[in-house]
Each structure stands twice: as C-alpha cells, then as structure tokens.
Amino acid sequence: MAARFACLAISLAAICLPGFVTSGVAQQRPAAPPDNRPIIVQIDGPAAQRAAASAALIGKARREGWLRVIARLRITLRNEDSLSPVAAAAQARALRSLQDAVAGRALAGAVSDESVARLQSVPSMSLWVNAIQLQRLLSDLRVLSVQEDVPARRGDATQSMALINAPKVWKVGFRGKGMTVAILDSGVAYRKGSPELTHPMLAGKVDSEACFSANPPPGPSRRLISLCPNGRRQDIRRGSALNCSLEGCEHGTAVASIAAGRASAGISGVGPAASILAMQIFTKVDSFARCSEAGEQTIPCIIAYSSDLQLALDRVYLLRSAFNIAAVNLSIQAGPFEGNCDDIDQTVTGLIEKLYSSGIATVAISGNQGYDDAISWPGCISRAIAVGATTASDELWSDSNSSDLVGLLAPGVDIQVASPPANYHIDSGTSLAAPHVTGAFALLKGIKPDKGDRSVDQILNALQCTGLPVTRAGITKSRIDVWAAYQYLRNTFLEITPQPNYDVGGSRTFRILESAGKIGFTVTREDTRDAQTIFVKASLPGGYQGQLNRDSLKFEPGQATQTVTYRWSDNRTPNLWGTTRGLLSFYPTEELAQREQCPIGSASFEIVDDDFSISVPFGGAPPGGSVDVTVDRGMWDWGTLTATVSTADSEGFANEGDYIPLVDQPVTFNEGERWKTLQIQTIAHPPGPAKTFGVKVKNARGWVTGKATFTIRP
C-alpha cells in the first residue's frame, strides 16, 4: 500500500519520510543515513571550522533575508532545586540580564518578544537575525555557539491496550490518577463544552497548556505564520494548545489519546486517569521551498522548529513542581543519526537532562525510515527513551528505525486513535508507539514514587526487563508489558531465608552437606496490599534430579510470607565428589518464569557431596605397632571440612578395645587438601588368633560415608 506523506518538520533535517501509513509491508532497508547535522558555529572551536561554519550560516541569512538561530551563552547555572529561593531568583535575573545584553547588541536595540525567545532554565535563546545582526552575534565573546534553527517533522497509530496488558493494571487500581503527561505536538482537541473543538477521549483532561510558534519579522521569512491563537510568538492562555485546522494537525490529538485518553467508543489510552500538559509547537509554512525541504507535498504545511521545542521543554521543567509530570512525549523526528546525537542541539540535550534529573522521562520516537543502524533525533539523545514500533504479531515494524540506542518497543501498527473533532481512525508509525510508553510511565510512576532520577531509571528498567524480546538484524529490544512491569516494581526484592537447620554459607547462599535431601525457604514480600502469585523455578546441574513442592506461591491480601521446598537426589554414575550450586528464582508472572527473564528474587544453595572414603594398607598390622589410615575427600574445590575416623563401634567387628583403642578422631582438611593420613596404634596382647577390625569415616552430619577393615596378626 502506498504511504501517505504528511511530514511535519522539526529542526535538523529536510528529508521527507513516510508519515502515517496504512500497512506494515516490508520495504528494502536503506543503506546509510545522510548527514543531517545543522550548521553549528562553535565560537571556541578550531579557527578553520569556525570560519567555514560562520560563512555558511551568514550566507544562508543573506539568501533568506531573515534566519532564526539558537545562541548558547557563557554562564554557568546551578540546579535551581539546590538553591534557596533568594539565590534562585538572583540566578534567574543574571541569566535574563545576559540574554538581554547579548540580544540588544546583536539586534542594535530592536529587541521584542517576537524577535527573541529566552529560555529560563538553560543558558540559551533564539533570535530572528539578518546577516549583519548575525555577524554581530557571532563576534560576541559572551556567546558559546550559534546554530541554525532548521526543521524536522512529526513521526508517523489494533486497539493495543490488551497487547501491552494495560487493563490488568487498571483492574488493580492504577490508571494514572494524579499523574500528568506532557504532549509536545500539534495541539489537542480537548475543550470541554465546545463540541466542535472537543474529542470525548480528551475533553477536560488538559490541566495546563501553551503554544510556541514562529512569528518572524516582515520579509521572505514572513511565510512562516504563528499558529498560536493570539498570532504571536507564544501564548499560554486557556485554549492556546487546541489543535490547528491544517492537514497534519490531527497528529497531537492521536498521540494524546494513546497516552492518556479516557475510554470512549471501546478504546482507551494507556493512562486513562492521567491529566495532560498540552503544548502546540508547530508553525504554518506558506512556502513551497520550505515545505519541500521538510518533505511536504502540499502548501501550506506545518513545521516545528527546535527553538519552539526548547521553549516547550523549558516550560515543562518550570512546571515540574506544579504537576506530577511522569513523562514528556516527543513524537517528532529529524535525521536519522547512526550514533549518539547529544551535540546536535545542546540546548535540547541539556533540557532533557534537567527533566531526567527531576524524575521526568522524555519519550521520543526511533523514526520511520526502516534503518537497522540509525534512529531519529531527539530519540538519539542519551537521556531520551527512543521507542520503536511493533506489529500485532510482535515483530518489529518494517519501517521502524532500529539501533542499539532504541530503549523500548511498543505497538505502532494499525492503531485505533482519536481524530478531531470526535472521530476515530487507524494509522501506523513510531509516533503512535511512543505514547504507549509515555502512558506506561504515568501508570507505573505511582508504584515506586522515588524522588529524582531513580524514578525514571526504575520504570525504564522494569519495562526493559519484563518486556517481550523482539529481534531484527541482530538487535533485541523489549516490547513493553505494563502488567509484568507493575508486578516487578511492586516487589523488586523478596526476602528469602532458609528454613532452620541449614548452614548459612554466605549472602543468599545456603550450604547443605548431603547428596540427597531437601531445602526449604521462607519467602517474604514487600507489598501485601492485595493478592499476588509469584512463580518459582529451580535449577540444579551436574546430574542431580530435583523437584519443587510447588511452582507458584499464592499470597492472599495481607499475607506476607509463603514457603517452598526443593528436594533432590544424586543420580550421577559413578557417584562423584564435589560442590554443586542450585538456584531458586522467583518471577512476577508465569510468562517471565517460562522465559526465565527478570526475576524479582533468588536464592542459591550449595550441595557439598562430602562422601569421604577411607583405606588401609593391604596385609594388616602387628600388635604393638600402628596402622596407616588414609581418608580421601575426593575434591579440592571446597574450603575447610572436617571428617571423623572412628573405631568406637564394632558393627560386627572385634573392636573390644583389647587390640586397638576405641576412638573418634577428627581429621581437618584445609583449602586445596584432598588426602589425610593418620596412624592408629595397635595394642600388644598375648599370642592368639588373628583378628579383623573395622574403621570408618563420618562426615560433618555424623553419617558414615566410608568403611575399611584390617587384620592384626598374632
């Protein structure tokens, strides 16, 4: 089926890719991605590189009349959360003062909110400049770098909730309530009470909103037209993030419905009780050249710019205390790039890092070109979570980009989504995979509400560890399973203790000195709020056979402990000495137990098969002399062990104490020792017939493991 091209641009590239498509038909893999890096002037970089980049950027400004650029400034900012309110306010004033001074010099005093957009949490700003103003900006020693603000595009959505097991999480009470997801896209059809502007999945769900859209000065660049309702550079009033009315403007509504849409017409978002922080970051473009560069085939088109994304991310960060923001969704793409792309836009990279440090995940798309070794920006930023798209049969979608930088996979083919004003349609793309992950963060963050970056890491680890492995071109990534991740997060550690009478050999390792027997464990869970089943698997190599008394532990609400027993026997032929380590592993779901993937607890035990053997020289011993008795422990690989050589009980032999003493003599083996020899003195006695005597060896449990006999000659 033919792809429908509907590219929205957002910084860094001007290559058109299939947007929404209606099938997952495999296409030939592209060879290598083109070089999509923007023009960046590093002021402190090598002189030749700086001169070449400056000339290219100034030349572009001359050709286009006006050019929007992003300037990074020389000032070090401390984390606001580590500062007192007074110190934080002083730092903010210092940043604003520097931004005003640099902008004032470059623009010769012609500074307005339309020509300059200042970021508040990172030392950057964007400016509309002509060639002369750009030259002044490049010569300012207070500037670290200047780069062009160029376009990227939006990414390209089977009812997929059952596939990722979201309904199971809803059933136990986790629906995203109290959490917020930020949707930075083309606006959301949400307004309650305005049917023509509202989708039932999203009505009343937007708690805060904003619009950031290009609004250049008069001239050739005036073909960029702000989509903010006030017609200006930015708008934070109610209604500012409503979806626009051009082709492609339905994209944000579709994305929001997957992440946090309430149930309607038989479909639901992943976090149906989560609220939405909506930000419209696109611009109307009425220029054939600009739309073509972004891959659009219709005029006008809509494009987003990196500087608008910066402003939106900056605002999300500033709102972190007002809302419990679980994740930011960026279903936009530029590139792709073969490796880490932190240097493509260091301002965006810095903002994503600040969000991560505040416990807010940034979820982006891998892109839709079908590469096996490259993904799109901003997904290739190290702190972003890049998401690829899978089919209903859990295969990687043919158009989904893949590389080692992909963090997670989610359904993205033939997804039913909301379409404004109150419609539904089916589409495909990594844009629709990413909000599944964004919604998953909203569902799961409340389970482990840790502060700071541990929240992002814990949830990401749970989704990666418990997800279904999907492989293409030698790269395996996890398709999310939110129920398995939920079960994992609620009990990431089980306290496992041996039942009495077993020797503790180390942390979670229990030593049993017997070759056939059993071991029991008491399992204590952290979370006792509701019923739970934990699945158990045991492994014991080396020729042993074993069996659990139960393969699952069913906890009732309020119940903290359960027990499990493992029995084994030694079926090795011949019977060998040595140490064998067994392992009991505990899993949150039956599927993970079957795959032996992502245990929530484990306990190991060591079977020390210490069947000591004993031998004496052939020919016996004279009375009044001695006999050498050799004990063999059969192995070197264990530490100190103690055996006992005994003549104290006859077991049918003539051990009356007349010819040999009745003794229990300990024998200690040190690390690396296998044999020990000791002497037993014989007693002088009147001449008489020869007599046969027995000697035996016992292990630490008192079990006889070897016997020998010798004769005392008259």
> What is the pLDDT at residue 317?
97
> In the predicted model, is pLDDT for residue 29 greater than 60?
no
> What is the pLDDT at residue 650?
47
Band (pLDDT 50/70/90 cuts) for residue 657 is low
Q: Measured between alpha carbons, how far is 235 from 228 in angstroms, rounded to an integer?
A: 6
> What is the pLDDT at residue 681?
79
Sign of CA dihedral 522, 570, 579, 594: negative
Q: Measured between alpha carbons, how far is 213 from 696 in angstroms, rounded to an integer?
A: 91
Tell me what the pLDDT averaged over the chain comes to. 82
> What is the pLDDT at residue 608?
61
> In the predicted model, is pLDDT for residue 476 greater than 50?
yes
Q: Which residue has the higher pLDDT, 23 or 600?
A: 600
Sign of CA dihedral 161, 163, 164, 169: positive
Q: Measured between alpha carbons, how far is 366 from 333 in angstroms, rounded to an integer?
A: 8
- Please give the model's pTM, rounded to 2 decimal places: 0.77
Give the Å distances, CA to CA, from 94 to 112, 118, 401, 617: 19, 13, 42, 93
Between helices 454-466 and 482-490, what is the axis angle to 10°? 120
> What is the pLDDT at residue 571?
55
The first and second tokens of residue 274, run together, are 């989560």
Q: Measured between alpha carbons, how far is 589 from 607 in angstroms, rounded to an integer?
A: 29
Beta-strand relationship, 384-390 and 361-365 = parallel
Length of the chain: 714
> What is the pLDDT at residue 633?
72
For the segment 147-204, what is each residue's pLDDT rounded down to a tens digit?
988 776 655 434 689 999 999 999 988 999 999 999 999 999 887 555 556 788 998 8
632 strand-pairing partners: 613, 675
Mean of pLDDT values over 471-481: 95
For the segment 53-97, what is each residue's pLDDT rounded down to a tens digit?
999 999 988 988 888 899 999 999 988 888 899 999 999 999 999
For the segment 265-309, what is each residue's pLDDT rounded down to a tens digit?
788 999 999 999 999 999 998 888 878 777 677 788 888 889 999
Q: Which residue, chain included where needed, has tokens 């991740």?
A: 485
Give all strands (DSSP E) within 440-531, no chain letters.
468-472, 475-479, 495-498, 503-506, 509-512, 517-524
Mean of pLDDT values over 337-346: 92
Q: Indicate the range of 110-114, 124-128, 229-233, 648-652 predicted with least confidence.
A: 648-652
pLDDT > 90 fraction of the chain, expressed in percent and rounded: 45
Beta-strand relationship, 180-185 and 275-280 = parallel
> In the predicted model, is pLDDT for residue 646 greater than 80?
no
Mean of pLDDT values over 21-28: 31
Ranked by mean pLDDT, the top range of 2-6, 27-31, 534-538 is 534-538
For the segment 384-439, what is each residue's pLDDT rounded down to a tens digit?
999 999 999 999 999 999 999 999 999 999 998 888 877 888 889 999 999 999 99
Q: Which helix (H) or strand (E) holds 147?
A: strand 143-148
Q: Please provide the DSSP assignment of 582-598 as one string.
A: EEEEEESSHHHHHHT--
Band (pLDDT 50/70/90 cuts) for residue 38 is confident
Between helices 454-466 and 430-444, what is the axis angle to 10°? 120
> What is the pLDDT at residue 573?
43
What is the chain's alpha carbon radius of gyration, rounded to the nearest angstrom?
36
> In the predicted model, is pLDDT for residue 707 greater than 90?
no
The first and second tokens of residue 408, run together, are 């997670």
Residue 629: how many CA atoms within 13 Å on its side-chain side? 29
> What is the pLDDT at residue 514?
52
> What is the pLDDT at residue 509?
47
Mean of pLDDT values over 440-454: 73
Band (pLDDT 50/70/90 cuts) for residue 507 is very low
Band (pLDDT 50/70/90 cuts) for residue 341 is very high
Band (pLDDT 50/70/90 cuts) for residue 7 is very low
In b/e form, how buried is each residue of 115-137, taking b as 16+ CB within 10 angstroms?
bbbbbebbbbbbbbbbbebbeeb
> What is the pLDDT at residue 9?
38
Across the chain, which distance is largest between two alpha carbons, in Å? 130
The first and second tokens of residue 328, run together, are 């930011």
For the segment 319-334, what is each residue's pLDDT rounded down to a tens digit?
999 999 999 999 988 8
Q: How far is CA 200 from the centre of its chain?
A: 32
Band (pLDDT 50/70/90 cuts) for residue 15 is very low
> What is the pLDDT at residue 451?
47
CA torsion, points 21, 24, 27, 33, in degrees to nearest 10? 60
pLDDT > 70 fraction of the chain, expressed in percent and rounded: 81
In b/e form, how buried is each residue of 606-645, taking b as 16+ CB within 10 angstroms?
bbbbbbbebbbeeebbebeeebebbbbbbbeebeebebbb
Mean of pLDDT values over 432-455: 81
For the segment 206-264, what is each residue's pLDDT rounded down to a tens digit?
999 999 998 877 665 568 889 999 999 899 999 999 888 888 888 999 999 999 999 88
Q: What angle do CA 610, 611, 615 make, to 5 degrees?
A: 125
Q: Which residue has the higher pLDDT, 8 or 452?
A: 452
> What is the pLDDT at residue 703?
66
Enumerate residues 6+ apart whose C-beta is below 8 A from 467: 408, 409, 477, 478, 479, 480, 481, 484, 485
> What is the pLDDT at residue 10?
42
* Secondary structure letter of residue 200 according to DSSP: T
Do 240 and 308 contact (CB within 8 A), yes or no?
no
Which domains does the chain carry? Answer: 9-38+151-490 (3.40.50.200), 40-148 (no CATH), 495-609 (2.60.40.2030), 613-712 (2.60.40.2030)
